[in-house]
Structure 1
Amino acid sequence: MRVSKEELVAVLSQFNPWWRDEAIADLPQWRRAAFRELHGWLTHPPAPRAVLLSGARQIGKTTLMLQAADALLRDGVPPANILYATFDHPILKLAGIDTVLEAWREREPKADGPEYLFLDEAQFIRDWGTWVKHQVDFRKDRRIAFTGSAMPLVEVGQESGVGRWHTLRLTTLSFYEYLQIKNLSLPALPRLKSLRDLFDWPQSDFYRVTEAAAPYVGHFHEYLVRGGFPQTAQVDSITQAQRLLREDIIDKVLKRDMTALFGVRRVLDLEHTFLYLCMHDGGLLDMVDLCAHLEVKRPTAQNFIELLEATHLIYRLPPFGYGKDVLRARFKIYLADAAIAPAVMLKGKSILEDPAALGVATETAVFKHLFARYYAQNVRFSYWRGKKDRGVDLVAEVGGQIIPFEVKYRAQHTGLRDLKGLLELCQQKSIERGYVVTKSLDDFGVMADLPDTTTRILRIPAPLLCYWMGESELTSESP
């Protein structure tokens, strides 16, 4: 089916108002932390590569690209040299990328300088990987940024793409970004270069921050329920926010993307698998139990799990270690955002009154913040299990260091007897420092009198850890 050039140009003109000397409508002034990296790759690319903005639906990838286009226009780039196109649009999808570029140049003749292509939902471009590879190899005058909400993992990692694009992995909003997007006026908290700085704080600093952070706790709990999706973060009604989130995940990702991109036919079984994972967020994946409850065969369930990971709805963590033991062991599953389970399971704000559910949501949020901050450093995340069923929730391996995180989000203060797994791992591996994520703001500080170890352990309240992990001024040094 052919699309007329007139119809195609009309669609492109709607998406590119700068061709008519018009401003981009409703563009937020506030920018996500990832903007700086994207803008840097477009203006002063460290290497001749395209940029892939990868992440779940509705996390702000389109807004980020339009903000980058706006910044280029403000820097003096000719409007004719900037193209935005979304291949989620049926006309552009039918026309194909080459025809879209021809229509662009018929409408807007090229000016001096590089061309900038912003291609949204590029997974709908036929043979997108090969096309991007060709552009990077042979069109040095073009700088390309493209997004994908549901890129097949095997395709994203295909050999032809190696060295052709830089992946900028976006998660849902951090707690820091959530506070910024809601434009809340809260007491200022000190900035950190690294969590390691906290080990050198005098006790007076811990007291001072404890007092200043009190107003943050209620917002942190609402963040866990409302979620880190820009659209739902700004909806007044939490019920409405959760309904929108549920519709985006169930209707658009599971029922539409999975069918269109991956050819999934057993959509109901896939939905049941995802609901099962929502009920076991932060837990070890028991494939035997999943298959028995959902009446699906193991290869089918395994395929569903991989597809859910490809669409950025879940993370899988292996156990700590290497070799055959890891291959045979169970994975730990985290949802992409703490608010997904309450929204999909229609729980409303009930998790705030359920200590166990609140602890799970907090652990999910903690992992997401650590992943978002450190994934670019090729950090390996895992969980650890030792003797007598002792364990550690999260273990980060970065720069040759092992850094454990144990989440104890509960009313009572954390003592040494609550940390037997953490202490066992630290002794085994001669770990320099570890972290315990707590609930009470006054459960904050370096633990003293640790038995027979050189390890230093810091108790840090979850709202503060998530705030500092998401703060744009925080460097990418190891935690």
Structure 2
Amino acid sequence: MLSIMVKIVDLVNQNPWWKHGRRFERYDRDLARAEQNPIFFERKGFETKTENIYIIRGCRQIGKTTYLKKLVAKAINDGVEPRRILYLSLDLFTSRREMRNAINYFLDTNREAENLLILLDEVTTIKDWNLELKHLYDSGITRRARIVATGSSGAALRRRGELLPGRGLEGNEYYLKPLSFREFTLQTLEHVQHHSEGKEFRDTLRRLGEILGKVSIQLTSNLGKICEALNTIIPFKKELEYFFRIYLFTGGFPGVVNEYLRKKSVGEEEFVDPALAETFVRNVLGDIIKQGKKETYARQLLREIIDKYGTRYSYSKLSRDVEITHVTTIDYLETLEESFIITILHAYDFNKKNMKFKGAKKIYFQDPFIFYALKSCLGGRDINDVIAETLEDEESVGKIVEGIVTTHLAMTRETPVMREPETFLWFYYDTSGRELDNVIKPDRSFLGIETKYRGEVRLGKTLRVPHIKKYVILSKEDFELDENTLITPVETFLSLLEKSNHNL
């Protein structure tokens, strides 16, 4: 009996709204900490209905727990009784039985209640978690309950999610990824404006926010229409450069951005807390171990990806260089990609009208912070030294920008399961070895994108492919449009890119 009481106390601690109602935000540790940050970064919402199960995929430290707590606050404000909302941090549970007991306690106290909300945080830490969701659906609980689960292990979410056909999961999976540059800029503008001394700069930032919030681009549009949208924002290139410089330093992890802004607002030097990097790397390696993988293999592969960053190579070469079997190398890379650590970019074969399964690949980290954190921890260096060294080297920063562009292009169209990036985003190289950084198929036609984050851009040096009729070259300074090629500053282009509906 005592152990049951202790578990009930634990449940109450995880669900402070049971005691405090809508005032719980004052006492909830996660929300209180988030509210104390310079910026509370808002994410897109989505509608939830009974008879459905929703899954949010995203890596560690990206804000999934905070997102769920904001769902609680919204539900209470919308009239849901606080006692009809259950939140479980499954990191603290050791078995399916514990998870089921907690859910059963909640259901027993709400036997006749309708419009229940069940939130399961880091559900993939529980073995066979899908069987519990299957039980909830098959037993009819979802007729009166909405269920939202989160997880950091994309592999577990994918494999186990596939075992839930016809149980309300179809079309209800979402990504929670690092902030895009557009989100980052729009939501940091006010803070930077408030802490700036020059009146002209503050007024310019206010005007930038007004215009940027109303303008965006679709890659399905013709180059003239894209150029027209870019023209409205190009007068603010200097200001966008300022924000892109910060984004290159911090990436899009909300916690990292807030720590940087906190230090900057009190006049300290640019700084990323090494503890954030250490925690992130520990979580990454810990999750890999939980999936039955060897930490030493993961470390070897990650070091090699860093050393080869932005270059193309085959899986065979990578496996030889790290002295791990070809099959094991692919297995670990897929795990890293499904855990939202890396993006594997495949080459495209225009003759076969598909990606080259055996061709060379390019591997990028899904955010600059991931690159810096892994390089610092795997090399035993301070993350701020790694960042400074990277951003001072033109070639290195160019590779970081290529990675940012690639992940942003993926976010414009991707949908879990139904439209993965490998179905619409690739790179290309010809028989002479010349490359085109990105080939994207936003509709029935192809768009070639080349990132040249350096001095003057020359049109003649960009690889042309007969199957591609229009090109965008992302420059550092130049802005120009000719018949089939648009040259535009990279930060201007990224600031106007919207994310897909399934990217929160």
TM-score (norm 1): 0.84
Matched position secondary structure for 2:192: coil
User: In the TM superposition, what whole-angstrom CA distance separates every residue of 1:361-399 from its partner, at most 9, and x where no partner exists?
Assistant: 111111112222211382521111224222211122233
Specify which of 27, 32, 36 is matched with residue 42 of structure 2: 32
Q: Whole-Å Cα distance in 1 between the matches of residues 427 and 233 of structure 2?
A: 30
The 1:200/1:315 distance shift into structure 2, 3 A limit, reads closer
Structure 2: gaps spanning 5 or more residues: 194-204, 264-268, 377-385
The 1:445/1:67 distance shift into structure 2, 3 A limit, reads farther
Check whether the contact 1:367–1:394 (CA below 8 A) recurs between aligned residues: yes
How far residue 336 of structure 1 moved from its aligned partner, in angstroms, is 1.2
Specify which of 310, 334, 337 is matched with residue 367 of structure 2: 337
Check whether the contact 1:118–1:145 (CA below 8 A) recurs between aligned residues: yes
Q: Whole-Å Cα distance in 2 between the matches of residues 163 and 404 of structure 1?
A: 40
Identify which range, 383-392 or 320-329, moves more after superposition: 320-329
Instruction: Provide the residue aligned with 1:386 in structure 2.
Output: 430
Matched position secondary structure for 1:339: helix
Instruction: Provide the residue aligned with 1:72 in structure 2.
Output: 75
Identify which range, 55-64 or 399-408, moves more after superposition: 399-408
User: In the TM superposition, what whole-angstrom CA distance separates every residue of 1:413-465 from its partner, at most 9, and x where no partner exists?
Assistant: x222121x1xx22xx2253x33211111xx1242x2x5xxxxx2222222122
- 2:366 paired with 1:326: no
Q: Whole-Å Cα distance in 2 between the matches of residues 253 and 209 of structure 1?
A: 38
Check whether the contact 2:56–2:150 (CA below 8 A) recurs between aligned residues: yes
How far residue 239 of structure 1 moved from its aligned partner, in angstroms, is 7.6
AA aligned to 2:81 is P
Q: Whole-Å Cα distance in 2 between the matches of residues 343 and 81 of structure 1?
A: 40
How far residue 275 of structure 1 moved from its aligned partner, in angstroms, is 1.8
Q: Whole-Å Cα distance in 2 between the matches of residues 324 and 430 of structure 1?
A: 15
AA aligned to 1:330 is A
Check whether the contact 1:339–1:361 (CA below 8 A) recurs between aligned residues: no
Specify which of 246, 249, 253 is matched with residue 277 of structure 2: 246
How far residue 269 of structure 1 moved from its aligned partner, in angstroms, is 2.2
Specify which of 336, 341, 344 is matched with residue 313 of structure 1: 341
- Number of aligned residues: 444
How far residue 325 of structure 1 moved from its aligned partner, in angstroms, is 7.6
How far residue 198 of structure 1 moved from its aligned partner, in angstroms, is 6.4
Instruction: Provide the residue aligned with 1:275 in structure 2.
Output: 303
Specify which of 136, 160, 163 is matched with residue 164 of structure 2: 160
Query: 1:198-237, aligned counterparts within 5 Å?
Result: 199-200=224-225, 209-236=233-260
Specify which of 139, 148, 171 is matched with residue 177 of structure 2: 171
The 1:63/1:476 distance shift into structure 2, 3 A limit, reads closer
Identify which range, 205-214 or 333-342, moves more after superposition: 205-214
The 1:158/1:209 distance shift into structure 2, 3 A limit, reads closer
AA aligned to 1:248 is T
Q: Whole-Å Cα distance in 1 between the matches of residues 355 and 63 of structure 2?
A: 39
Query: 1:85-164, aligned counterparts within 5 Å?
Result: 85-90=88-93, 93=95, 96-105=98-107, 108-109=109-110, 112-137=113-138, 138-139=140-141, 140-152=143-155, 155-156=159-160, 158-161=162-165, 164=168
Percent sequence identity is: 21
Matched position secondary structure for 2:298: helix
The 1:122/1:325 distance shift into structure 2, 3 A limit, reads closer
How far residue 220 of structure 1 moved from its aligned partner, in angstroms, is 0.9
Instruction: Provide the residue aligned with 2:474 in structure 1.
Output: 437
Matched position secondary structure for 1:429: coil
Q: Whole-Å Cα distance in 2 between the matches of residues 178 and 96 of structure 1?
A: 39
Check whether the contact 1:283–1:334 (CA below 8 A) recurs between aligned residues: no
Q: Whole-Å Cα distance in 2 between the matches of residues 87 and 161 of structure 1?
A: 23
How far residue 287 of structure 1 moved from its aligned partner, in angstroms, is 3.1
The 1:302/1:245 distance shift into structure 2, 3 A limit, reads farther
The 1:291/1:193 distance shift into structure 2, 3 A limit, reads closer
The 1:268/1:398 distance shift into structure 2, 3 A limit, reads same
Instruction: Provide the residue aligned with 1:453 in structure 2.
Output: none
User: In the TM superposition, what whole-angstrom CA distance separates every residue of 1:249-298 from its partner, at most 9, and x where no partner exists?
Assistant: 421111x11122x112x312211211211222333233344333322222
How far residue 234 of structure 1 moved from its aligned partner, in angstroms, is 0.8
Q: Whole-Å Cα distance in 2 between the matches of residues 369 and 95 of structure 1?
A: 40
